[in-house]
Amino acid sequence: MIPSRLWFPTNFAARADWYKNFAEQFAVLAAGLGFTPADVTAVENDNEVMQFLAGVVVEMKAYEDAVRQYRIIITESDVGQMTPMFPANPAMTLPTVIPTGIFERLIKLVDRIRLAATYTNEIGAMLGILPSQPAPPDPNTMQPTIKAAALFTSYKFDANVTRMGMKGFKVQIRRMDSEVWTDAGFGTSSPLEITVAPTTPGQPERLQVRAILLKNNEPVGQPSDPVYVTVNP
């Protein structure tokens, strides 16, 4: 269950920022709207976990980048060069244990807030819960999603890409021993069947796969988050 996009952001980093403002404003406005200290505490606990999870995403990405850099140095450097230290494991401890259902609790709370006798549009604006028509998507920030499924024959896989209103897209692959993304196919509908030339003929090969949207045959927006697929002979 996800709150309406008419007032709730659609990506997790923005949702965490939204929650921070909502929790701060709700703590100030709750009593005047008829809510109890327990309601405020519940929102604060949910917000604490949201901020923790947003930070974890950033920390894990930094850790992944550090491990990749270690791999490059330890495998590609000349013999005799300084051996790097392996990145320290991230230390992550959930700040507070809460029940599942943060978003469902939020939806029900927002409904209660809007029904409060003292609720006004000004309060709604402060809390960030005023419905609004979504702005047209900014092509520069569009990010598709991709799913890749191996076809188990002839080094092929199917790529399913959300086009987000764009007519075309391209699929890129990155081999596990490389940092370079290469174009593997172009499409205007999903699924798109991709055939990969194997590094070692006769052996399965694991790949990273991502999609990039195209507008007038030019890349637009951000590449999708990469996924993994193993193609087979």
pTM for the whole structure: 0.56
- Give the residue ranges of DSSP H helices in the chain: 12-33, 37-76, 102-115, 121-127
Distance CA 59, CA 41 (A): 27
Q: How far apart are CA 156 and CA 209, in angstroms?
A: 12
pLDDT of 148 > 80? The answer is yes
Confidence check: pLDDT of 139 > 80 = no
Helix (H/G/I), strand (E/B), else coil: 170: strand
Least confident of 80-84, 144-148, 157-161: 80-84
How far is Cα 120 from Cα 118, in angstroms, rounded to an integer?
Answer: 6
Selecting from 2.60.40.10, 2.60.120.10, 3.10.20.340, 3.40.50.1110, what CATH number does the domain 139-231 have? 2.60.40.10
Chain-wide mean pLDDT for the chain? 93
Distant-in-sequence, close-in-space partners of 52: CB < 8 Å, separation ≥ 6: 94, 95
Angle between helices 37-76 and 12-33 (to 10 degrees): 170
Kindly tell me if the per-residue pLDDT of 112 is higher than 70.
Answer: yes
pLDDT per position as a tens digit, 22-77 = 999 999 999 999 999 999 999 999 999 999 999 998 888 899 999 999 999 999 88
Res 99 pLDDT > 90: yes
Residue type for position 78: D
- Show me where the domains of the chain are located: 12-127, 139-231
Task: Give 76-85 pLDDT, tens digit per residue.
Answer: 888 888 889 9
